[in-house]
A and B are shown apart, each in its own frame.
Chain A
Amino acid sequence: MSTQEKEPMFSAKNVKLFTAPLGRDNPITIQVLGICSALAVTVKLKPALVMALSVTVVIAVSNVVIAAMRKHIPDRIRIIVQLVVIATMVILVDQFLKAFVFDVSKQLSVFVGLIITNCIIMGRLEGFAMANKPWPSFIDGLGNGAGYGIILIIVSFFREFLGSGTIYGYPVLEKLGIYNIGYENNGMMILPPMALIVVGMIIWVQRSRNKSLIEHK
Chain B
Amino acid sequence: MENLLNIFIKSIFVDNMVFAFFLGMCSYLAVSKTVKTSVGLGIAVIFVLFITVPVNFMIEKYLLKKGALAWISGGLADVDLSFLTFMVFIAIIAAMTQLVEMVVEKFSPSLYNSLGIFLPLIAVNCAILGASLFMQEREYANVVEATVFGLGSGVGWFLAIAGIAAIREKMRYSNVPDPLKGLGITFILTGLMAIAFMGFMGINL
Which residues of A come within 8 Å of B, CB atoms?
Answer: 29, 32-40, 79-80, 83-84, 87-88, 90-91, 94-95, 109-110, 113-114, 116-119, 122, 191-197, 199-200, 203-208, 211, 213-217
Contact = CB atoms under 8 A, between A and B. Distances in A.
A28 to B, nearest CB: 10
Given A113-B129, A114-B133, A217 B181 contact: yes
Q: Number of contact residues on B: which range applies? A: 35 or more
Contacts of B26: 32-36, 119
Contacts of B172: 217
Contact of A110 (B29, B123, B130, B195): B130
B23 interface: yes
B83 interface: yes
A87 B86 contact: yes
Contacts of A192: 19-22, 194, 198
B37 interface: no
**A interface majority secondary structure:** helix
Given A196-B191, A204-B180, 8 more contacts: A32-B26, A32-B183, A35-B22, A35-B25, A117-B130, A119-B26, A191-B198, A193-B194
Contacts of A194: 191
Contacts of B181: 214-217
A204 B126 contact: no
Given A192-B194, A214-B178, A36 B24 contact: yes
Contacts of A206: 179
B34 to A, nearest CB: 13
17 contacts: A36-B24, A36-B126, A37-B22, A37-B126, A40-B21, A83-B91, A84-B87, A110-B134, A113-B133, A118-B126, A119-B26, A192-B198, A195-B191, A196-B22, A208-B179, A214-B179, A214-B181
B22 A195 contact: yes
B41 to A, nearest CB: 15
Nearest to B20: A192
B180 A94 contact: no
Contacts of B123: 79
A36 B22 CA distance: 5
B198 A193 contact: yes
Contact of B94 (A80, A113, A217): A80
Contacts of A32: 26, 29-30, 183
Contacts of B128: 117
Give the most central of B21, B137, B187: most A CB within 10 Å.
B187
